[in-house]
Chain A
């Protein structure tokens, strides 16, 4: 089968800088598969490093406010955005406060891992495997969720930063940062090369299947490069990695190819020193980016997609109540989670507040965990994702399942 040869040399001469070289197949007509059921697209935003829950959602008043201020004389947050009688939100999260007030965001406090660890890597692994205490699990919790519901679509799972442990052993995951970056460089022979690659990657190993998946994804994604993406409702994404990743997810959701899960990582939360500068400083910048990204993402998708959208924001643990000598906080325990979406019973802080008295703290040091993170995810799966089989996703947990009423 002869392949027409392009005027390649002319092209090459004009393009000595190779990053300039690309042009995947363009799609002019295509029919996307209908999404095969009404489950939400779940977007999991994992804040790596252990975010300081007590500075994200600090106590607003009362005894606990006093304990908080005493424990953190140099890094306490003031001028909070009121959430209810008890808690406020860090002022850098103002855009999320709007979503909270509009009923599209809920907060779960004193939530986390029911396992004794202050190690980042253990805690992340336990959370993402969905089996606290056991690292021998061979699949991630999202993998097991998808096994339960099936995921027969072109692009069921998108990860914007490699393959997180929550998707361990889920081979159809497509990882890409932005559609612009996700294109195969074309030397004029790319069609012929791709044909060969189909053959070369037709085996059954992890690597073979990832290669095949890459070729499939190129077909889906390359047309997106052609037209500049215009977010809806005047939404505007920051030019940082987090903003660009969320923009990519929004584009994929709007493609309606049946995207079920997107995993987005946002790192840098390990605030051992110089955490704040008044209400500004390092953590305020992180939170500002988080809020800007999520609120614009929500605004962008509030064009007919938010009723089938569930965003979860999670981190591996919170941090110590008492600040350290470097104006930071060390690894702690209880954390806070955010849930966003059109079907969230928003405007509420869920969970039981354990208090900040010394005898109420975990190990006399950290915010205690009163809500297992699996409660939140189990409720999400049951109410919004079409998988009520909690036991298969979180083995050994279903007996403790006790929904908080986060979702409609």
Chain B
């Protein structure tokens, strides 16, 4: 495949950005007291697995925290709200 790896990753990132935001929204729903915990946990797990590989190190690190928290049970809502905020900030920072 011609081209450099960064360009390729960024191209795919643009394609998947709506999916990333959808996953964040699923977690946000649980933070707001609604949503489905299992679905949100799965979303956190997937974000933890993919964000870093797309070069989003900061967001990836928050997603890993979320993944672990969901694995341990239902995370505290206040903590979850803060984590979602940090996740969004991490996504805005962009490629690290």
Do the two chains belong together in a single complex? Answer: no
| A-binding residues in B (CB < 8 A) | none
| B-binding residues in A (CB < 8 A) | none
